[in-house]
Amino acid sequence: MVSPRSYEEEIWNAKTREWVFREQHSRSAGFKLGFEDPHSIPSVLVDEMIEWARLLGEHVTVSNWPNVILTPFDEPAKWVEGSGNLPFIRDQFIKQIELLRRGWPEVEIYGSIHYYYGGIDFLEHVDVFCTNINVHPPRLSSFGDRHRRVGEEVRNAGVEFWEYASCDDKGLPSRARYVFGHYFGSHDSRGSLAWAYNWGNRFDTLDGNNWMYAWNPPFDLLPAPYLIGMREAWDDRRLRETLRRMAREKGIELMAFWGRLHKEIAQEYSLGNRNTIDGFWQAAKDNRSMERWKSEMIEKVLWLQGLPEKEAAVKTRKSTLGG
């Protein structure tokens, strides 16, 4: 019986395999991307990307996978960084989208958009505009109020509006619940992204940069408390959507209710961490507020359930609960 390899051996072998792979491909002329023309995709990769997208699309269809959304790479709006001397990032993102759609015409494309200016350029090229612009509004205050209305601008363009924030395997679950749940919900974003896709040093996360919501030891996947907070956040979002749907079906206007609730959510905003490199998150000033908001939505749902269909159709905008 062969004894299990140690953690150090596992890491060493993984790094060795990575080094060998990089060395082999760096010597291959077919994989030398070079930067003689960084605005263009190397011709040797064009057909490969198209074929990869075609095969993936076929596999998704045959396997009946739900709602597969692709992106060429993360945060393309960073082309404006460095005094705008990285414009090839913008061109690469747009051209890679074109290749993905040539191989799989029905594919949906999202962009994780880091800035408003420079990021809004991609609106016409994506199906899902996923942004962290509203996550740290004070950082962009010099741009005026326009970035605060980005959701409205995205929806008016016929594009789906999502938002993203970072994750932290050592972070408090209340942070995740607030930002992914009530805060994003108050912006009417239709989905969210956990940046950076559970990336980190597996389960030894005491040092280094780790953007994770679960640990990956050799024997199992262990959810971090932060992931529990994300689960609670999406429970809050499902409750919100249930209430909205019931109100539509019964012809009840809840504008006053949502306006008051969203104002409270905004007032509970605690700055948190605005460093979008080491991690960015928000937290409520008082975590008990989240339970109160949930209870108020449940109360509304129960009230709507008790309304007869005909009675609901003739209700005025102001309900007995202020909705």
- Amino acid identity of residue 121, one-letter, is D
pLDDT digits (tens, 9 = 90+) for 65-89: 998 999 999 999 988 886 556 888 9
Per-residue pLDDT band for 208 (boundaries 50, 70, 90) equals confident
Distance CA(160)–CA(141), nearest Å, equals 24
Domain locations in the chain? 33-248+273-284
What's the average model confidence in pLDDT over 248-269?
A: 92
Task: Choose among 67, 72, 78: nearest CA to 98.
Answer: 72
Task: Choose among 309, 206, 190: nearest CA to 240.
Answer: 190
User: 111 has which bridge partners?
Assistant: 129
Mean pLDDT over the full length of the chain = 80
| Total residues found in the chain within this entry | 323
Q: Which residue has the higher pLDDT, 162 or 310?
A: 162
pLDDT of residue 272: 56
Rounded to whole angstroms, what are the CA distances from 227 to 71, 75, 129, 231, 286?
24, 23, 23, 6, 20
**Is residue 281 over pLDDT 90?**
no
What's the average model confidence in pLDDT over 297-302?
A: 96
**Is residue 29 over pLDDT 90?**
no
**Cis status, amide bond into 196, omega within 30 of 0:** yes
Distance CA(252)–CA(323), nearest Å, equals 8
Per-residue pLDDT band for 42 (boundaries 50, 70, 90) equals confident
